Amino acid sequence: MYPLRRNRRLRTTEAMRSLVRENSISPNDFIVPIFIVEGKSIKEEIASMPNYYRYSLDMLKAEIKELWSLGLKSVLLFVKVPENLKDNAGKEALNPEGLMQRAIKTVKDVCPEMIVMTDVALDPYSKYGHDGIIQNGEIVNDPTNVFLAKMGLSHAQAGADIVAPSDMMDGRILAMRSLLEEEGYYNTGIMSYSAKYASAFYGPFRDALDSAPVDLQNIPKDKKSYQMDPANREEAIKETLMDIDEGADIVMVKPGLCYLDIVRDIREVVDVPVAVYQVSGEYAMLKAAAEKGWLNHDAVMMEQILSIKRAGATMIASYFAKDVVKLLS
């Protein structure tokens, strides 16, 4: 008698499907990226990221309250730095009264329980748009680490719960962890962008922060000397294990959808939470296709988020977080 197993039995009704479902999405899964600008009463849409905005600090307050009311409990802050404050060494990034430092305090003021994560990186502060300090045309590793550790400390001092270095210098986690410990910030977490690829999917983000590498002679035109080669898989494991050894509490794979094999590989070898960053280009692609009526926005969005979960993500940084959670409720 054939078939002995009829797999469709468990797919007959939604109740049945939900009974056997292996993965699900909840507000607990998300980190919400937020873009912040100087000024007052600003909520400006990012051209290449429809329905995503940059907020001035006064406008940020309402947004934070709304996120919390939706059950979204962690944010990842990025700042757009005025051109006149950019240099090669990130001096403004260490300003205790800088935009990031004020943003951290603003979030904690309106919502003390909100988990505040911060982007620790030079590029928004760099006049060259790079994540490292440039000397003689080279992105120098160790001097950049000294800077990054100080930047992480500055965010911790302003009240950040978790600092998130997104640069891909070697040894920056150890530098940051050591300084945080020395200064008594032993409870500040580090979420390391461990396997961050040199991806073309970051385009809209660089529009949002005006942080693209500049086109100048003797300056590298791309980030391939520090971000990972998309061709590599084994190397992602090496990078991630090294960051854990150096003291990372959470590791990250970035981008998301094209790199779900990496997410699974890493999930299987590490014993710390794995974050996945579904990046700006992934967001922009779906928005554009949906605008043309070529894809069902909500259905594709849910499928993508679920796929990232299924691949092994403990948490997902996504520009869709709010849309997803609204749809869930």
Summarize as ranges the residues that interact with ligand PBG (CB under 6 A): 119, 121, 123, 131, 166-167, 202, 205-206, 223, 279-280
Cα 291 from Cα 2, distance rounded (Å):
47
Nearer to ligand PBG, 111 or 275 (CB): 275
Cα 99 from Cα 82, distance rounded (Å):
10
For tokens 């998130």, name the residue: 164
Task: Dig out the tokens for 204 from the structure.
Answer: 């809209």
Residue 150 annotated as catalytic: no
Nearer to ligand PBG, 61 or 307 (CB): 307
Are 296 and 13 in contact by the 8 Å Cβ rule? The answer is no
Give the nearest distance from C-beta 117 to ligand PBG in angstroms. 12
CA angle 316, 268, 117 (to 5 degrees): 30
Quick check: helix, strand or coil at residue 109? helix
Give the nearest distance from C-beta 301 to ligand PBG in angstroms. 15
Q: What is the DSSP letter of 19?
A: H
Quick check: helix, strand or coil at residue 32? strand
Give the nearest distance from C-beta 12 to ligand PBG in angstroms. 40
Are 142 and 174 in contact by the 8 Å Cβ rule? The answer is no
**The one catalytic residue among 196, 223, 287, 309:** 196
Task: Dig out the tokens for 256 from the structure.
Answer: 């998301």
Give the nearest distance from C-beta 226 to ligand PBG in angstroms. 9
Are 171 and 132 in contact by the 8 Å Cβ rule? The answer is no
Residue 196 annotated as catalytic: yes
Burial class (CB in 10 A: 0-12, 13-18, 19+), 85: middle
Nearer to ligand PBG, 48 or 111 (CB): 48
Q: Helix 99-110 crosses helix 141-158 at what angle (to 10 degrees)?
A: 30
Neighbours of 75 (CB within 10 A): 26
Ramachandran quadrant class, 85 (left: phi over 0; alpha: psi -120 to 50; beta: rest): alpha
Nearer to ligand PBG, 202 or 320 (CB): 202
Nearer to ligand PBG, 119 or 243 (CB): 119
Give the nearest distance from C-beta 77 to ligand PBG in angstroms. 11
Give the nearest distance from C-beta 313 to ligand PBG in angstroms. 15
**The one catalytic residue among 80, 254, 287, 322:** 254
Cα 130 from Cα 139, distance rounded (Å):
8
Nearer to ligand PBG, 111 or 199 (CB): 199
Which residues are known to be catalytic?
196, 254
